[in-house]
Amino acid sequence: MRISIFGLGYVGAVCAGCLSARGHDVIGVDISANKIDLINNGKSPIVEPGLEELLQQGLRQGRLRGTTDVAAAVLESDVSFICVGTPSKKNGDLELNYIEGVCREIGMAMRDKNERHTVVVRSTVLPGTAKNVVLPILEDCSGKKAGVDFGLAVNPEFLRESTAIKDYDFPPMTVIGELDKASGDLLASIYEELDAPIIRKDIEVAEMIKYTCNVWHAAKVTFANEIGNIAKAVGVDGREVMDVVCQDHKLNLSKYYMKPGFAFGGSCLPKDVRALNYRAGSLDVEAPLIGSLMRSNAAQVQKAFDIIASHDSRKVALLGLSFKAGTDDLRESPQVELAEMLIGKGFDLSIYDRNVEYARVHGANKEYIESKIPHVSSLLNSDLDDVVAKADIIVLGNSDERFAKLAEQAPSGKRVIDLVGFMPHASNGVAEGICW
């Protein structure tokens, strides 16, 4: 099938690579000429294991190309996936400027197209967005009727950064929210070869499923951290408690999130918790757990800072700046927040993160690093051994496998603070866990 993908961030770039690898003809579209150049030269605009190989394969086979020409992409494809960002506003609601803008451009392009075109919202949006925002813009700009002259669907993604390709190839399910049967049939044909159930629902149900999944994941992280903190206060290793809890698979709980540790972060969970909480408030619906999640998450960052500050030394090494290993994503990373707290309180801080170091030079996050957190990025050091040697306190910030040995045996004369769960034991004189 001929597919155009609008927005070449994490979701868009991964989808472009995976769809082209499965034999589809893919046109990647983005306003960033730099991203388009990277794609057309077989370079990944993000740090994601295995993605660059897929992009290069798509180029070699003539099934992938990038462009900034919206009209050409729409005219030369059968379906358009919208994968642009939906960041948070200050009040927690979603910022839909990118969605609205790309819908206007797609709509204007569809005006000159005789064949039926299907628009699929892959971006994470609150229930009602497709019908109340996307649909009216597309109809107004195209002069056509949704469900009659063009198709409309919602297809939420369930991709985790650093494992996105595996998640695409082996999804737990494929959710399709369809305005009309023809739109759902088209999407189902794209995913029919995947070994996963295809679940077709109304558009609003699909939008809500995505938020329910993300907010549930956020709730699991916070719940485990709170249990871990209480357990540690009474002399119990919180990991032992949660390991037993996670043996109950009948309630379909994932062990991936059910581990005490550091705060959650990234481009999805904080944004989606705020948005769903905002929507509940606007409807006068009480949602105390959801309303408490971000406060509890911030308290977990404060707890990490308090542990560091409780020791005499001011020389600190932070290993891991991105919110998780295997990615360069710094958006709403709690590690960045912790670094800023340490800087603000005058700690002598040095930072090591190999993926962020790459992004600072080559990646799509280069502009973000330079413009948003230059005071933090200036402390990056590409030599792990040098960072460890100069510090008295070593903070293990994400699960990069190279940090594990520091938790198992702390360097002589140094203190290790484990925010991840590398430690094979509970806190002792030289190593301390945030929840154990």
pLDDT the model gives residue 162: 93
Check: CB of residue 186 under 8 Å from CB of residue 77.
Answer: no
Q: SS3 for 144?
A: coil
| 2: β partners | 25
Q: Residue 251 above 60 pLDDT?
A: no
What are φ and ψ of residue 57, in 5° steps? Answer: -65, -45
CATH architecture observed for domain 297-433: 3-Layer(aba) Sandwich (3.40)
pLDDT tens digit string along 43-52? 999 999 999 9
C-alpha–C-alpha distance, residues 229 and 44, integer Å: 39
pTM more than 0.85: no
Cβ within 8 Å of residue 276, ≥6 positions away:
126, 211, 215, 287, 290
- How large is the average pLDDT for residues 127-152? 98
Cβ within 8 Å of residue 126, ≥6 positions away:
94, 207, 211, 275, 276, 279
Return the structure tokens found at 212.
Answer: 């329910």
Q: Residue 362 above 80 pLDDT?
A: no
Annotated binding-site residue? 214: yes
Annotated binding-site residue? 367: no
pLDDT tens digit string along 190-244? 999 999 999 999 999 999 999 989 998 998 889 888 989 898 988 899 999 988 9
pLDDT the model gives residue 253: 63
Annotated binding-site residue? 124: yes
pLDDT the model gives residue 426: 81
Annotated binding-site residue? 161: yes
Q: Please name the helix (run of DSSP H) or strand (run of DSSP E) that holds residue 415, with its range, or none.
A: strand 415-418
C-alpha–C-alpha distance, residues 75 and 435, integer Å: 55
Q: Which of 83, 103, 268, 435 is catalytic?
A: 268
Cβ within 8 Å of residue 25, ≥6 positions away:
1, 2, 3, 63, 64, 77
Active site includes 83? no
Annotated binding-site residue? 255: no
- Torsion sign, CA atoms 300, 384, 401, 13: positive
Q: What is the dihedral of CA 318, 321, 327, 328, to 10 degrees?
A: -130
Query: In the chain, what is the straight-line distance between the N-terminal and C-terminal CA atoms, in Å?
Result: 51
pLDDT the model gives residue 361: 56
List the chain domain ranges.
Answer: 2-202, 297-433
CATH architecture observed for domain 2-202: 3-Layer(aba) Sandwich (3.40)
**pLDDT band, residue 252 (cuts 50/70/90):** very low
Cβ within 8 Å of residue 146, ≥6 positions away:
135, 138, 139, 152, 179
Annotated binding-site residue? 257: yes
- For residues 373 and 78, the model is more confident at 78
Percent of the chain with pLDDT over 90: 76
Residue 234's Cβ-count burial label (10 Å; 0-12, 13-18, 19+) is exposed
Output the average pLDDT for the chain. Answer: 92
Q: Residue 379 above 70 pLDDT?
A: yes
2-202 shares its CATH topology with 297-433: yes
